[in-house]
Chain A
Amino acid sequence: MKNVGDILEILIGKYLDGEISPTEQRLLDEALQRNSQAKELFEYFQDLHKLTQESISSEILSRGKDAEEIFERAYQQTRHPLRRIAYVRGWPRFAAGLAAGLLIGLVLHFALSAQLAHTSGEAPPSLIAQEIRLGEPDAGAVIGTPYGEPDSRLLVPETGENVIRNVDWYSFTDKNGNQWLIEGFRENIDRSAAYYEGL
C-alpha cells in the first residue's frame, strides 16, 4: 500500500503535468491546507518543475537548426539516385550487383582485347602469310615461273596509315625443288592513299 508521502507526490506530479482530476485536486488542496510539510514539498516541486522546463528549453529548443531546413536537406538526400539505389535490399540488390559485375567484366574483356589487337597490329607478322596462301587459286597467279617476270600488287598496310606500297613478288625454286616466295619493294616511294574496291 502506498504511504501518504507517495500519494502526495503522485498528486503533485499530476497537478504539475495538468493531468489531475477534480477529485484528486480536492484531495491535494486538503493535504496542502492540513500539512505544512506537504505545502513546502509542493512549492519545491513547483520550482523544480519550472526550472526543469526552462533548462530543457534553453539546452535543446533554443539550439539547433530549423525543422524545415533539416527536412529539406533530408528530402534532397533521399531524392539522390545513388542514395535510392543504396536503399534497395534483398534479392533485387543481389541481382543488380551481379548484373553490374557481369557488365564490368564484359567491358573490361572487350577493352583489353581491343588493346591487345591494337598493339599487335602495329607490326603484322607477315603480310604475305595473311594475304596469300599456297594452294589457293589466286596463289597460282602470284607464283610465276622461276626467275619469271615479277608480279606487282598493291598492299594496304594494317597500320592505319593512309599509304599504299608497290610490292613485287618473286617465286623461286631451289635445287631441292622447294618453292620460295620473295617479297620486295619495287620502288622506294610512298603514294597517297587510294581506295581500291575489293582489295
Chain B
Amino acid sequence: MTAKAMQNEAALVCAARLGDKEALRLLLTRNWAWLKALVYSIITNADDVDDVLQDICVRVISKINTLREPERFRPWMAVLARRQALRYRQRKSQRKVSLDEEVAGQQCDYKAGQLLEKLERKEQYQQIMQAIKSLPEKYRQVLMLAYLDDLTYGQIAEILDVPFTTVQIRLLRARRMIYNKVSRKTTNKV
C-alpha cells in the first residue's frame, strides 16, 4: 500500500469516525476482497461468508470510533473479522444437525459430485479447494489473501500483523502442502 493510499485510508477513517456513511462504505468495499478471503480461510464454507461479512460490517460501523490509530485500520479490521469468523465457526459447530438434514446434505453432495465428474476442470478445482481447506489455518489465511486479492507480501504482513518473512515462508509452505496433496506426494519437507 503506497503512502498516499494509506493517507487516504486514514482520512477516510477519520471521516467515518464522524459518522460519514460514504467514507464507511468506501473503507469496507475497498477492502472487501481480502476481507472475504480472510473470512473464508477461517470458516471454509462459501455459503456462510456473506452472513459473517454482514456481522463484520455491523461491528466495523459501530466500533470505528474506538479505533485510535487511523493508519492501522486494516490490521484492526482483520482482528475484528477474525474474531467474528471464529465466533461464527464455533456457533456453527455447536449447532446440532438432525439426521434428516445430514442425509439430505449427503444426497445433494452425491448429486453434485456426479455432475462434477463430467467436468474435468471442475474436478481439479474441487481437488485444489479440498487441499486448501485441509491446510492449517495460518497457512490458509496467507494463501487466500495472496490469491484472492493479489496482495503483496507487505500488505499481507500488515493485515495479519506478522513479519514480512513470515508471510513469505507461510506462502511457500502452503504451496508445498498443496503440491504434495494434489500430486499425491508424501515428502517430509513441510
Contacts and interface: CB of A to CB of B under 8 A. Distances in A.
Contacts of A60: 36-37, 40, 46, 49, 148
Interface stretch (B7-15, B23-31, B89-97, B99-107): B23-31
Contact of A54 (B28, B61, B125, B175): B125
Main secondary structure of the interface of A (DSSP, over half): helix
Interface string B40-62: 10000011011001110110011
Nearest to B152: A19
Interface string A32-53: 0000000000001100110111
A67 B128 contact: no
A13 B171 contact: yes
B168 A10 contact: yes
Interface residues of A, number: 36
A19 B148 CA distance: 16
A13 B168 CA distance: 8
A63 B132 contact: no
Given A56-B148, A67-B29, A13 B172 contact: yes
Nearest to B179: A48
B21 interface: yes
A65 interface: yes
A63 to B, nearest CB: 5
B182 A48 contact: yes
Interface residues of B, number: 43
Main secondary structure of the interface of B (DSSP, over half): helix
A35 B67 CA distance: 52
Interface string B139-175: 0000110111000110000000000000010011001
A177 to B, nearest CB: 84
A48 B178 contact: yes
A59 B125 contact: yes
A77 interface: yes
A95 interface: no
Contacts of B25: 68, 71, 75
Contacts of B47: 63
Nearest to B146: A17
B18 interface: no
B129 A55 contact: yes
A68 B25 CA distance: 8
Contacts of A55: 124-126, 128-129, 132
Interface of A: 9-10, 13-14, 17-19, 44-45, 48-49, 51-61, 63-65, 67-68, 70-71, 73-75, 77-78, 84, 87
10 contacts: A13-B171, A13-B172, A17-B152, A44-B183, A59-B46, A63-B49, A64-B36, A64-B49, A70-B50, A87-B62
